[in-house]
Structure 1
Amino acid sequence: MQRLVDIVIERIGGLGGFGLPGSHLESKGEVASTSLSPAVRARVDLLFATYGKGKAAPAKGADGFSYKISRTTVNGVEVITVPEAEVPAELRDSVTDRLK
């Protein structure tokens, strides 16, 4: 049985420059929204409502992280960028680091 993945999360920035152009480091995770608690799904919906109009929130501090969150809905793929402090732990915990 194939695992349903409809949320992709990428950590961007920080001292290592994760996910930035020219970086050899990638921090990425995938989560099925059906595996999240109702409270976390509601939090994700709120993040998309808040940041979904193309409003990217910068990371706090010079070496802070932002997270790019993509989700697939019936209307297509939606993408937002939010500061680390806004991301639910269940999504942050899905991210793993690897060399490209």
Structure 2
Amino acid sequence: MSNRTSQILSSAFAAALTLGLAQTAVAQDSGKEKCYGIAKAGQNDCANLSGTHSCAGQAKADMAPDEWKYVPKGSCKSMKGMTADEAKAKHGGKK
């Protein structure tokens, strides 16, 4: 692998990593929180706790405890949702 190719790959990796971190920061700064156990099938916001998928819209069942959606901060409990720690405990501590 040439030095130029190595630089391009390193830059691409760094950009992808930064993008992922920026999305998390935006969600936190926008007054939203992850709420587990409230997403309907096909309406989750991203990867689930069990690791069976890594993308939005791939939830297979309604209200699965390892699937989540972003909701306004402070509204998760009133929607009968769970925090990440509660969801991990309910899901058997997986991932």
| TM-score normalised by the chain length of structure 1 | 0.25
Q: Which structure's residues are more often strand, by fraction? A: 1
Q: Which structure's residues are more often helix, by fraction? A: 2
| TM-score normalised by the chain length of structure 2 | 0.26
Determine which structure has greater relative contact order: mean sequence separation of CA pairs < 8 Å that are 6+ residues apart, divided by chain length.
1
Larger gyration radius, structure 1 or structure 2: 2
